[in-house]
Each structure stands twice: as structure tokens, then as C-alpha cells.
Amino acid sequence: MKIAYLSTFYPFRGGIAQFNALLYRVLEKQHEINAYTFSRQYPKILFPGTSQMVADNDPADKIPSKQVLDTINPITYFSASGKIKRFAPDLMLMKYWMPFFAPSLGHVAKSTKRQGTINISVLDNVIPHERRTGDIALTKLFLNQNHGFVVMSKKVEQDLLSLKPDAKYIFHEHPLYEQFGEVIPKEEARQKLNISPDKKVLLYFGFIRDYKGLDLLIESLKFLPEEYVVLVAGEVYGSFDKYNKQIKDSDLTDRVILNVRYIGDEEVPVFFSAADVCVLSYKSATQSGIVGISYNFDLPVIATDVGGLKEMIEPHNTGLMTEQVSAEQIASSVKHYFAGNLQSELSNNIRDYKKLCSWDSMADGILAFYESLKD
């Protein structure tokens, strides 16, 4: 079978590119697959981070993608469609996570659909965390150019059906990221980060955006004893000034360890190995790739009960959920985690869960779904 995969690939960086690369590597084993990506993914105004591209020292999977689509140049919508149609794929896969991509991806999908290609999109989000005027109309435009969808949380499933009640879709849990290597000894990891071995380390990892609630996690330290610290590792979207002010005003400078920058793949094991628990203090969510990274290192998760986070944690007994989205409730769950010495038990459960949630399973599910859509 011929598969076109249109989404973010190398030389772009980030979790979505990593997701696509891992799924691509499974599909290429038995099928002819071409990866197509962006010549320009975001204009700078929509990407306040340092760079969208893989750094020279970042050991990214160099998927042989073709850079064909500029999201803000409609001329490339036509040229990209033509290049993919000449490949004549049986199946085109896409990844959708924000309405900004609806015009470009939607145009290409409409073109391949007319040619007889089956279009399937993996949906990270349907209704965005930070909504803007026109988002729903754009998303509906994109959804209507697809034959089917893959959802990875009940929240995304609900959002999909609210906009497209007749949608055909499959559910598959988010596979785990496996490319970051192995756990290293905690003492060694903490030495590299200059963290005392007697501290209780709460890890915040990933992009720093308002809806991810870093402010709540910082505030939770007010309800915790001095030995608890927050380890922040990730690049900020926008300005970090308000967090710096919060830390200073709360007299928490010695208890918040800042690594506010892009974290390359080779550094990831250090942060997760140094931590006692990963905390997702989100104010809203669908699913989270950070959970998958944490599980890769057998590190349990404490998360607020928003979106689909509970589905990734509670059924597998691999972490704890807060009762409410608040700093005090996060602190309460953290206390329970440490008082019950739960890390060993939950880590064992993570190891059992990892055996069930694989990229091969997702690929098999998509291919079986494709066959059903042909009928």
C-alpha cells in the first residue's frame, strides 16, 4: 500500500515531530510511505520560542521528508497537492492540533480526497485550549475533508462528535515515547543538575504555556515543607516574567530550579531521572505526550483532573489525580504520594502498562480502520 504522511517531520522539532517519526518507522516496514512536511510551519508571530528547527546537537530521527507546504502561502497549497497526488497514495495520514493548520491541510486533503485517496487524521485537539474567533469554523472545514479520525482521549472524542456527529473514528491510547534512552541513577542525575539528594523533586516538563498551570505548581510549594522543590524544564511561549515575579514575591527562589529553555532529547533522561514525580498542573487539556515521556522513565505522574489526563493515569494506577484544579489540591496529592511511598508501586504498574501501549498497535489499528473505510 502507498501511504502519504503529511505533518511535522524533521527538520522540525518537538513532540509532534517525534510522534510522527515513531509512527512512520513502524509503517515503513511493510508499506511504501512518503513523508511530506512544511517549508514553513508557523510564522514567527505564532511561535514565540527560540526555534522551530532541530538543533545541530539534537539526535533527532532524520525522516526523509519532503518540505512542500508553507502554511501562509496559498500557492504552495496547490503545489503540495500536486506533488502528493502524483505519488497517488491509497492512504493519506495527517496530524491535527490547532485551527491555524485547517486552510493548508484542508486544501490538500480536499484535493487528495477527489482523487480517491482515503484521508485519516490523528487528532491531538479538536477544540483548542486557547480559543479564538473563527476556530470552530476552521476546524469544521478541516474535519469535512477527512474520511476518518484517530482520537487518543475521551475529551477529543467528545469534541469531535460535538462538531461532526457522523464522524467515523477509532480510539487508541497515546503510545509511549521510546527514543529518549534509559533511566540513569538518581544521584548521578541530581549531581548534574546541582540538586541535593535530600530534596523531594516535582518535575514540570515541556512547553510553558498559560493553560499548563506552572503558576499553580509554583503556588503549591506554599503548602509544602521546605524539602519540596519544583524542577522546571522547558521553553516558554511568550514571556517568563510573570513566573519570575511570582517566585520572587512568594520568596521561593531557592525552591524553584529553572531550566527555561529548549531541552534537547539527549538531556531528557537527566530531568526525569532526577525527579521523584512528574506533575501536570494543567488548567485544561486533551491528552498529554508528557505522560508518555514520564512513563518511558517509569516515573509516576500527578495530574489535575482535566480533559483526558485521567484516562492515561487512573485506569492503569500509574499516578494520582487531584480532586480540583488548585494549588492546594496539587499539594495535597503530592503529600499523599510521598506519605504513602507510592513511587515503587506506581512505577511497577507503569512497566506493566508499557507492554500494552505500542506504536505497532497504533499502526495496526490505523491500517485496519483504513480497510473498513474502503467499503
Cβ neighbours of residue 89 under 8 Å, at least 6 residues apart?
A: 2, 3, 4, 34, 112, 117
Instruction: State mean pLDDT over 10-34.
Output: 92
Instruction: State mean pLDDT over 104-128.
Output: 96
Question: For the stretch 323-333, what's the b/e string if a residue is b when 16 or more beta carbons lie within 10 angstroms of its beta carbon?
Answer: eebbbebbbbb
Residue 46 pLDDT > 70, yes or no?
Answer: no
CA distance 108 to 68: 11
The average confidence (pLDDT) of the chain is 92
Cβ neighbours of residue 30 under 8 Å, at least 6 residues apart?
A: none
Name the residue type at position 37. T
Question: Residue 178 has what pLDDT?
Answer: 75
Starting at the edge strand that comes first in sequence, how are the strands of the sheet with 228-233 ordered? 256-259, 228-233, 200-205, 277-280, 301-303, 319-321
Domain 186-354: which CATH number of 3.40.50.40, 3.40.50.2000, 3.40.50.620, 3.60.150.10: 3.40.50.2000
Q: What is the pLDDT of residues 307-365, one digit of tens each?
A: 878 888 988 899 999 989 999 999 999 999 999 999 999 999 998 888 777 899 899 99
Domain 2-175+358-374: which CATH number of 3.40.50.300, 1.20.210.10, 3.40.50.2000, 2.160.10.10: 3.40.50.2000
CB 83 within 8 A of CB 56: no
Name the residue type at position 273. S
Q: Where are the beta strands (DSSP E) in 73-147?
A: 91-96, 118-123
The C-alpha cell 492503569 sits at 316
Nearest residue to 79 (alpha-carbon basis) of 59, 108, 103, 55: 108
User: What is the location of CATH 3.40.50.2000 in the chain?
Assistant: 2-175+358-374, 186-354
Q: What is the pLDDT of residues 257-274, one digit of tens each?
A: 999 998 888 899 999 999
Residue 262 burial (CB < 10 Å; 0-12/13-18/19+)? middle
Cβ neighbours of residue 66 under 8 Å, at least 6 residues apart?
A: 34, 35, 36, 37, 83
Residue 292 pLDDT > 60, yes or no?
Answer: yes
Read off the pTM.
Answer: 0.71
Q: Where are the beta strands (DSSP E) in the chain?
A: 2-6, 32-40, 66-70, 91-96, 118-123, 148-151, 169-171, 200-205, 228-233, 256-259, 277-280, 301-303, 319-321
Residue 76 burial (CB < 10 Å; 0-12/13-18/19+)? buried
